[in-house]
């Protein structure tokens, strides 16, 4: 199974206020989709899930998987925008729990 990192991580909201999940690759994105997805299992969700699995099987690129995850997360309202992440890192927004992920980041 292949596990190539995304060029840029995807940050996704968790159910705890202010908490986010960092996905650096398709395996971590699948972890979020399986364990933490709080929205409906829409067509976009199912596509993201399938393409992430295909990326792990080296049948799709990591960036393709990332694109489908971003699209599904955006539709579900769980995508954390890069500007919000940068603001938090710079200390310009209120402090919240650190990002969670399975990749030691």
Predicted confidence (pLDDT) per residue in 55-86, tens digit:
999 999 999 999 999 999 999 999 998 755 55
What is the pLDDT confidence band of residue 103, given thresholds at 50, 70 and 90?
very low
Task: Tell whether the model's pLDDT for residue 100 goes beyond 90.
Answer: no
What are 5-34's pLDDT values in tens digits?
A: 999 999 999 999 989 999 999 999 999 999
Residue 3, pLDDT score: 80
Q: How many angstroms separate the CA atoms of 11 and 23, rounded?
A: 6
Residue 82, pLDDT score: 73
Q: How many angstroms separate the CA atoms of 45 and 20, rounded?
A: 18
Return the beta strands (E) in 1-105 as ranges.
Answer: 5-13, 20-25, 79-80
Q: How many angstroms separate the CA atoms of 26 and 49, rounded?
A: 9
Average pLDDT over residues 82-103: 53
Establish how many alpha carbons lie within 13 A of residue 90's alpha carbon, considering only the half-sphere containing its beta carbon.
7
Instruction: Please tell me whether residue 63 adopts helix, strand or coil conformation.
Output: helix
Query: What's the predicted TM-score (pTM) here?
Result: 0.78
Q: 13 has which bridge partners?
A: 20
């Amino acid at each position: 199974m292949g596990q190539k990192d995304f060029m840029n991580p995807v940050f996704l909201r968790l159910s705890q206020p202010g908490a986010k999940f960092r996905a650096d690759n398709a395996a971590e994105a699948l972890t979020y989709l399986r364990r933490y997805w709080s929205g409906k299992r829409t067509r976009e969700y199912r596509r993201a899930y399938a393409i992430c699995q295909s990326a792990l099987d080296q049948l799709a690129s990591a960036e393709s998987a990332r694109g489908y995850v971003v699209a599904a997360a955006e539709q579900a309202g769980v995508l954390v925008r890069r500007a919000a992440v940068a603001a938090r890192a710079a200390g310009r927004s209120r402090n919240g729990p650190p990002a969670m992920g399975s990749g030691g980041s």
